[in-house]
A and B are shown apart, each in its own frame.
Chain A
Amino acid sequence: GAGVSQSPSNKVTEKGKDVELRCDPISGHTALYWYRQSLGQGLEFLIYFQGNSAPDKSGLPSDRFSAERTGGSVSTLTIQRTQQEDSAVYLCASSFTSGGSGELFFGEGSRLTVL
């Protein structure tokens, strides 16, 4: 596609429910990143994919968080048993390469609110 597409743009859920956030990167981009941004805060790295594998998942806050990428394209971030502290904007970004070059292009984000 023309840009990084994320869905849903907004999600309100109740504490304890599971949520899935989807990211469709720019066509041909091999690297895909997930970040989290709480209100007024910086970007918190969660995980990145090179192709379908995740060389670095060190930023996932707990085992309630998981992510996968299939076909070297679409990625899904799943949060199980959501907590109020999970409320944030989840940003996905992609780049052409992870080899020390290639800027990140961001989607518009998925705003998650856990009541």
Chain B
Amino acid sequence: QKEVEQNSGPLSVPEGAIASLNCTYSDRGSQSFFWYRQYSGKSPELIMFIYSNGDKEDGRFTAQLNKASQYVSLLIRDSQPSDSATYLCAVRGYGQNFVFGPGTRLSVLP
């Protein structure tokens, strides 16, 4: 059973702080890793994807991947109240379907 684990939260951070979201996965054959954001009542939207070990930065967002530890994280710098949402980690192996984690609910306090 391929599993993706996330802390359900809520994770509360003050405005302007760094929010750190974590995800672990069980399938060592996983190839690609995705972070989606889901606002309440809306469908998930892609924030970032990462394939290689290390860091990948896009604006205020940084994804970090460590395949040896089977760990992927998302850092949000200068958090804004508009970042308050549920963040879904998704993992995909070659030719396989996406496996989503349960999501972490982030609350950024003004």
Contacts and interface: CB of A to CB of B under 8 A. Distances in A.
Given A103-B49, A104-B90, 12 more contacts: A42-B88, A43-B88, A55-B95, A98-B95, A100-B32, A100-B93, A101-B32, A103-B46, A104-B44, A104-B46, A104-B98, A105-B46
A71 to B, nearest CB: 21
A43 B51 contact: no
How big is chain B's contact interface, by range?
A: 20 to 34
A1 interface: no
B100 interface: yes
Contacts of A106: 43-45
A109 interface: yes
A56 interface: yes
B69 interface: no
B64 to A, nearest CB: 18
Contacts of B49: 103
Interface string A92-106: 000000111101111
5 contacts: A33-B98, A98-B97, A100-B93, A103-B46, A104-B34
A42 B101 contact: yes
B45 to A, nearest CB: 7
